Amino acid sequence: MVGNVQVGGDALPSVQSMTNTATSDPQATLEQIQRLADAGCEIVRCAIPNKEALEGFEQIAKASPLPVVADIHFDHELAIEAARRGAAKLRINPGNIGSMDRVDEVIDAAKEAGIPIRIGVNSGSLQKEIDKMDIPLSEKLAKSALAFVEHFENRGFTDIVISAKASNVREAIEAYRLIAQETEYPLHIGVTEAGSTFAGTVKSAVGLGTLLEEGIGDTLRVSLTADPVDEIEAAYEILSALDIRRNRAEVISCPTCGRCQVDLIDIARQVNERLDEVPQHLKLAVMGCVVNGPGEAREADYGIACGKGSGILFAHGEPLRKVAEEDLVDELFTEIAGSC
């Protein structure tokens, strides 16, 4: 459990992100956490780079609507202190904490606070002996993660989540596959340093999508060089593409072609922006023409198929009525509101 969020077991994969405001600024951070929560984020992580951030962290953890994970590198004392100041989970990379004795102190602090630890591994925080081996990075990541897990178990601590992130998608996939073969601990999946919104979403969709389709992954973060809220949208797109879970209605829209005589890109944008108004199990179609529109989108619950200056509103592949172009989006949502 991370706060009130179950990770692993029979729980669906949870969606998380990380704030990019200064943790020493609780007001700005809490505002961002609220935006993340509104977007459907379930667990949030804050960096604690120094002692000043600890003060902020305590206030954030107290007031946050989401469980807050303390993200610590290098300094085990910050981790110990974060556990005492309300962290719902600690994230450390044991490979960069300095020594396993220091890791043990962190383990003991988590035990005392009753909170889990994410054991993180990336190419910069491999177990030293394993790093020297002449094996692929994916194997180094998996072996390191499992070696750290064993250390935690020997210390009597099993409340753990594992992550083994690589920026190369195929290496990340392979590392997680290897770990999943060896252990049943919950896995936090992600592709690290994935990139800006477009490239990072595609990379994450390929990496996380492959893993999730294989049943691997209990909580996910899509790492983007962007507003963290974009990470939540991307995560849900990945989960909903695989029919695992969704947090809003699905929109299918045609790619447009020479038959299209309206600004369909703008119409699709408007529909996407108003999805909060409709039940999330619905599928809405936005089609550029009446020739193929309703037929192509037969599986949609509701949709619009545009013509020249007007369009047809349809439900389950059957036309309902003709509507002027400028009223199409409003009429679509009025129709749905009237039938739900």
Question: Which residue's Cβ has the minimum distance to ligand SF4?
Answer: 288
| Least distance (Å) between residue 305 CB and ligand SF4 | 7
For the CB of residue 290, give the shortest distance to ligand SF4 in the complex, in Å. Answer: 8
Shortest distance, position 257 Cβ to ligand SF4, whole Å:
3
* Residue 112: other Cβ atoms inside 10 A: 11
When the beta carbons of 281 and 322 are compared against ligand SF4, the nearer one is 322
Residue closer to ligand SF4 (CB basis): 145 or 268: 268
User: Nearest distance from residue 209's CB to ligand SF4, in Å?
Assistant: 25
Show contacts with ligand SF4 in window 238-277 (CB under 6 A). 254-257, 259-260
How many residues sit in the footprint of ligand SF4 (CB under 6 A)?
Answer: 13
Nearer Cβ to ligand SF4 (284/289): 289
Nearer to ligand SF4, 175 or 262 (CB): 262
CB of 255 to ligand SF4, least distance (A): 5
Q: Answer yes or no: are the C-beta atoms of 144 and 120 closer than 8 Å.
A: no
We find the least distance from the C-beta atom of residue 297 to ligand SF4, in angstroms, to be: 8
Those residues whose C-beta lies under 8 Å from the C-beta of residue 139, and which sit 6 or more positions away, are 133, 174, 175, 178
Task: Sketch the per residue contact string, 201 through 240, with ligand SF4: x for CB under 6 A, - otherwise.
Answer: ----------------------------------------
Rounded to a whole number of angstroms, the minimum distance from the CB of residue 330 to ligand SF4 is 21
The pair of structure tokens assigned to 266 is: 């703008």
- What residues numbered 286-305 form the site for ligand SF4, per CB under 6 A? 287-289, 291-293, 296
Judged by CB, which is closer to ligand SF4: 96, or 270? 270
Calculate the dihedral angle through the C-alpha atoms of 186, 191, 196, 201, rounding to the nearest 10 degrees: -70
List interacting residues with ligand SF4 (CB under 6 A): 254-257, 259-260, 287-289, 291-293, 296
